[in-house]
Structure 1
């Protein structure tokens, strides 16, 4: 490859390269499975074959990668919930609020609501409905394990 061509590409597409590197850094630090390497390869390949893509297309790609990453995080969180249910602790708070914690997952919710806020390895993965069997099992197991007052 010609060095001048590479320099010109970097100068014209520095923003795309920075966005790709940020996404790549995020994926490599958050996703802890073989999937992270697949996503990393896709990002690098997309960057290498990139040419003439508009800002709207970049936004769509970032949204797609973000959505894919969040889906992966949700699947991992669900899997970890099943594995860590026996280690989960249930802390009841005021007005029916509760917090369930395990080594990698934290759920916060209220007995008055059918939704809980889920945090996986310190990263919020959104609000999930309690109609999911895995979450319901996680909550029930945590209630059986230990009940402590919430702080």
Structure 2
């Protein structure tokens, strides 16, 4: 378990009811139970809250990046099927936009990066290589 202070602050904000119930349970156990069982129950409650809130911000970021990667892979796969319907627009400021039903790419000419939006999810800097470059080239050629 990672003892990340930021993760515990976020846990306290998100699950304040669980913490309040645990504190009330601790007070009741300490005041009512008079045997060794009291300390076993106190330890169980404290350990339960610690384990329940043990996910760190880094763990959550890692899960988010994995999900983001999967969605980007889906977007790149969808590009191949939607290339023939893509609309390429060259803007006056040197930027371009490629749009389909599900995907929007925008970037600066010769920058090597594009911003991909796939079904409402935006990826800020995707390298313009491989399938992404091919998609932009096909869209540009189809618009001529």
TM-score, with structure 1 as normaliser:
0.59
**Alignment of 1:114 onto 2:122:** no
The total of aligned residue pairs comes to 103
CA-CA distance at 1:11 after TM superposition:
4.0
C-alpha RMSD over aligned residues: 2.6
TM-score, with structure 2 as normaliser:
0.62
CA-CA distance at 1:68 after TM superposition:
1.2
Which structure would you say has the larger Rg? 2
5+ residue gaps, structure 1, are: 1-8, 15-49
CA-CA distance at 1:135 after TM superposition:
0.7
Once residues 77 and 125 of structure 1 are traced to their aligned partners in structure 2, the CA distance between those partners, rounded to angstroms, is: 10
Which of 12, 18, 24 is the matching residue for 2:18?
12
5+ residue gaps, structure 2, are: 1-14, 21-47
Runs of 4+ in 1 over 4 A off after TM superposition: none
**Alignment of 1:78 onto 2:84:** no
Relative distance call for 1:75 and 1:51 in structure 2 (3 A) is farther
Once residues 93 and 10 of structure 1 are traced to their aligned partners in structure 2, the CA distance between those partners, rounded to angstroms, is: 50
CA-CA distance at 1:113 after TM superposition:
1.1
